[in-house]
Structure 1
Amino acid sequence: MDAEAMRQEAKESIEAAQNYRRELQLRLTGLKQACTQVRGSSSQARDALRRHFSELQAAATRLLAARLAQLVSQVDALEEHSLRPLTACQTLILQGVGQADHLLREGEAALRCGLEEDKLGSFNQKALNIQLDSLPEVPALVDVACVSVQLDDCVLDVLKERIVLHGSVSSHPPVQIIELQERPGAMLVRWAKVDEDFSVFDYRLQYRRTAGGGAYEDAYVGGDSEVVVVDLDPQTEHLFRVSARSDGRSSWSPWSVPQPGSTSLAPHEWSPGTDGYILSSRRNIAMRCDSAPSRCPVLYSNAPTYCCGQTLTFKVSAAGQADHRDGVGVCVERENGRETLQRDQAVCISTKGAVFVNGKEMTNRLPALALGSAVTFDMEVVALFTAGNDPSEGGANVKLRVTIGCGSREVVCDWLLEAAGDGLFFGCCFAHTGWKVLVY
């Protein structure tokens, strides 16, 4: 091997060693983060345990003291109530004893006076008035209150049984976030149960901005394992976490490891200024109002922001009366003045569930739109035709495979277009007031 070859081999070895060291350093960084998570979560768990049991101890002391005071107060009340008639009887007897003593002294004095009729007569009359044969009734002991307490000795056993089972420590939360998928101005969050022994009744998803460290806020509570979090600012990182609870329990499980995510896609917006519609501040919610009762044109998106490969969702947050012209869908161009999307170069679903492609109604139908309905559009390019075109396609230059979902049902159809740019418009139209649609 000549010197140049050896030199080249040495350079390659040095480069390989540098790459190897770089990869090891990255793994070391990841390992340090893992150790930090273990130590940090363990410290938080210890603090949470000490705080919780200290609060329990203080609360138990307060409750026991309050219960003791309540029971002692009941004893005091029973004692006072039971002694009241006995005290009255005692007072009556003592009065009788006093009268008897006074009468005895008068009688002995009268006898010492001999046979003086006046004093003996007065004494005898007083004795008749006192009614020496009338005695107050003293209740028997069995009829008198005997205050006692009944204390359940098994309370301590029950407390001991609950306390020894109170709380649990685990190395992993029962649910974890498994996917974050960006959407226009939103984020699709999916999670899964990782503890098979944990019986889930519902989930709770929260999120907050990473910067600033503000408080988490609820994004979803329910039984689904995925949700789209809307109204997110693009290029802004958020933290997402999820927990779960079992059926019949009010307490939530520990939170999953927070996952950071951000969307680079600008949010979908409705076009302002269309007569008959009121938009929200973010322009992602459109409400049909009665400013144009005789006619109402199609409300389009502000720009052709929908692209193939994405999922476009219309969420009905309020429903009104349905009309055959109504619908939500996607189109190539904005045709101002139109009162329906059931036309050429558009695909839509009416509020009654009918699907229209280029103005032609399809055989398959979807459920009618109602409050809470979510309609999704997914599209992919399946064919591009040459300049000569395929005669069987009627002069079309592109074929899109469109999947429209509503509830648990889907309709798949092919949409033939003369041309398709980088993006498509979306739109909605409602003949009657009361409809409100969120788009994301």
Structure 2
Amino acid sequence: MDQVSSKPKDLKIAVCEEKILSDIRNSLPLLPKIDKNANDSNVQKTRKSGEDDLFDRLASAISKQKQYEQSVNAAWFVDNAGLHENFINDGSIKGAQLPKHVEENIQGIAQSAEDYISKLEEQLQDLDCADEQIITSANKALQEIDEAYQSLINEVCCQINRKRDLIRLETEVHKNEGLAPLKACRQEINAQIRSTQHLLDLVQEMLKYPHSFNRQRFEELTSASSNLGRIPAVPLPEELPCITFCHPSRAVKEKVLTKITELGCVSRMGPVQLLEIEERPASLYIKWHIIDPEYSGEEQIFIVQKTTGDSVDSVSNNFETVYEGSETSCFVRDLSVNTPVSIRVGIQAPHIVWSILQTAKTSLAPYCWNLTNENYMITNSGKVAAKITNEISTLFSQEAQFDAEHVIEFKFLEASTDGSNEEGLALVSDSGGKDDDLKRKGALLITPQGKIYMDGEEKLMRLPKIRFGTRILFSATRKYEETLRINIECADKAVTYDWIVQTPLYFAARFTEFNKWNLIVK
């Protein structure tokens, strides 16, 4: 009978347990209750002070805009109010003419005025573009601000709710782990009460009905009574959980709030801006400068990035870094001809503020070899030259393309270990024939042994020997009108020479062995 009656009770306990677990798992997330008038923390007081300053600046800027919207005349405005006061059209002035020199002067003034108006209207168009840049960039920034902080709010609220749920779960664990032994103790006490009450009922029944007495019954009662006096131990209060929530300290809250106030910023414009973009063969040469004096006092690390196409999204993830360093110019190389690229520059920092995007393209064909020398096989759109005979021969570039503020790189895909000082790679002022030894006036030659010849004279400095995988890079700047400063880099060594030479320059290669020399120009 007892077993049958326990099943509904067990079922009830199971349902109760499932409800508790379900409530914990499905607890509703907390949502922020924003009180804009709260001024308890130091962070909020600092924020309020900064906010007041910004509101003052905004009110002042809006007031100035309204002031400047009023139509005004230039200081030299000519009043024509009295021009026709004494004019009477009575036919007496028919045929009247201005003196010729006066008429010519007035016509000149009219033409100048029309030209001036045309230029001023162009300026107005530039102002329209400027307005559009400011308004468009500001609206985009406002949208990005809302999106970024909404995402931050979502993530922070999600994390806070996860922490809240974890703390609540831990509290439920402590509560139920503490209640479990108490329930066991309660169950034991209730069992003792039931057993004792049953014993009492039997004793009273025996007293009421003496004829029911027998020895066996008496021994059972005596044996059962021996259990009387067993009092289960109830835990003392100091032995029981007293669950307490430890609130986040004020210092921790201030630290978290301070960190939040440091998340994100807005800049009027980037501290560095692009200055010039010049076309180069299959590349662009770009310069930039710092416009914010705050960043001018120390050396900065600049980052230049590009993306294909006319991009308007300065925060796109499609940008790739093409330069990182302390120089204020670089080459953006390996570009497709007449394909626009968007370029930006910034200063390395935790939050990089990029320059205004500029779009440019190069119309100059890439460096390439001449196709007419039968001793070389030219492939890869004229970029790769491979020696295919055992006859020493000089190969020149298709055109003279190398000049000041240019860079050109050669990589040896194959190289002979027996190269001589009669062979090599060169920059030359004019294109000679196949027998040109490149040790002459107007030639800068690098031999496979690393020797350097300028205008036919051997230099003291040497570069590493040319081997498979060797890269040789030439770059140039204009020192004087007729002088180039040439920098040559090979492996971990670099040399610099001032060279009086007529530009632009051809590049050339002179090699002998069949199937031992293969190089690409970039």
TM superposition score normalised by structure 2: 0.63
2:267 aligned residue (165, 170, 181): 170
Inter-CA distance 37–102: structure 2 relative to 1 (3 Å threshold) = same
The residue type paired with residue 473 of structure 2 is: V
- Render the CA deviation track for 1:291-329: whole Å, top value 9, x for unaligned: 98x979789465124254462421659898977648543
Q: Count residues in correspondence.
A: 407
Inter-CA distance 97–229: structure 2 relative to 1 (3 Å threshold) = same
2:359 aligned residue (256, 260, 268): 260
Cα distance, 1:52 vs structure 2: 2.0
Write the distance in 2 (CA, Å) between the matches of 1:404 and 1:436. Answer: 23
The residue type paired with residue 188 of structure 1 is: Y
Write the distance in 2 (CA, Å) between the matches of 1:31 and 1:263. Answer: 28
1:234 matched to 2:333? The reply is no
The residue type paired with residue 218 of structure 1 is: E
The residue type paired with residue 332 of structure 2 is: V
1:411 matched to 2:497? The reply is yes
Residue 119 of structure 1 corresponds to which residue in structure 2? Answer: 217
Write the distance in 1 (CA, Å) between the matches of 2:509 and 2:307. Answer: 30
What does 1:321-400 correspond to in 2, within 5 Å? 325=420, 328-331=425-428, 332-333=430-431, 343-344=439-440, 346-350=443-447, 354-357=451-454, 360-365=457-462, 375-378=473-476
Residue 320 of structure 2 corresponds to which residue in structure 1? Answer: 218
Give yes or no for contact 2:403–2:503 (8 Å, CA) kept in 1. no
The residue type paired with residue 150 of structure 2 is: S
Q: Please identify which structure carries the higher strand content.
A: 1
- Render the CA deviation track for 1:199-218: whole Å, top value 9, x for unaligned: 85552422332399997532
The residue type paired with residue 412 of structure 1 is: D
Give yes or no for contact 1:110–1:123 (8 Å, CA) kept in 2. no
Q: SS in structure 2 opposite 1:35?
A: helix
Q: SS in structure 1 opposite 2:322?
A: strand
- Render the CA deviation track for 1:6-45: whole Å, top value 9, x for unaligned: 4543443343333322322222222222122122222222
Residue 186 of structure 1 corresponds to which residue in structure 2? Answer: 283
Residue 368 of structure 2 corresponds to which residue in structure 1? Answer: 269
- Render the CA deviation track for 1:239-266: whole Å, top value 9, x for unaligned: 32223332xx2x422x211223332322
The residue type paired with residue 178 of structure 2 is: S
Cα distance, 1:160 vs structure 2: 3.3
Q: Please identify which structure carries the higher helix content.
A: 2
Give yes or no for contact 1:365–1:411 (8 Å, CA) kept in 2. no
Inter-CA distance 379–197: structure 2 relative to 1 (3 Å threshold) = closer
Give yes or no for contact 1:276–1:296 (8 Å, CA) kept in 2. no
Give yes or no for contact 1:316–1:435 (8 Å, CA) kept in 2. no
Cα distance, 1:343 vs structure 2: 4.3
Residue 311 of structure 1 corresponds to which residue in structure 2? Answer: 406
Give yes or no for contact 2:323–2:330 (8 Å, CA) kept in 1. no
Q: Which moved more, 1:26-35 or 1:403-412?
A: 403-412
What does 1:296-307 correspond to in 2, within 5 Å? 300=395, 303-307=398-402
Cα distance, 1:268 vs structure 2: 0.9
1:140 matched to 2:236? The reply is yes
Q: SS in structure 1 opposite 2:274?
A: strand
The residue type paired with residue 169 of structure 1 is: V
The residue type paired with residue 359 of structure 2 is: P
Larger relative contact order (Cα-Cα within 8 Å, sequence gap ≥ 6): 1
Residue 387 of structure 1 corresponds to which residue in structure 2? Answer: none
Which ranges in structure 2 are unaligned for 5 or more consecutive residues?
A: 1-97
Which ranges in structure 1 are unaligned for 5 or more consecutive residues?
A: 384-398
Q: Which moved more, 1:420-429 or 1:160-169?
A: 420-429
Inter-CA distance 262–117: structure 2 relative to 1 (3 Å threshold) = closer
Residue 294 of structure 2 corresponds to which residue in structure 1? Answer: 197
Cα distance, 1:84 vs structure 2: 2.6
Cα distance, 1:222 vs structure 2: 1.9
Inter-CA distance 107–242: structure 2 relative to 1 (3 Å threshold) = same
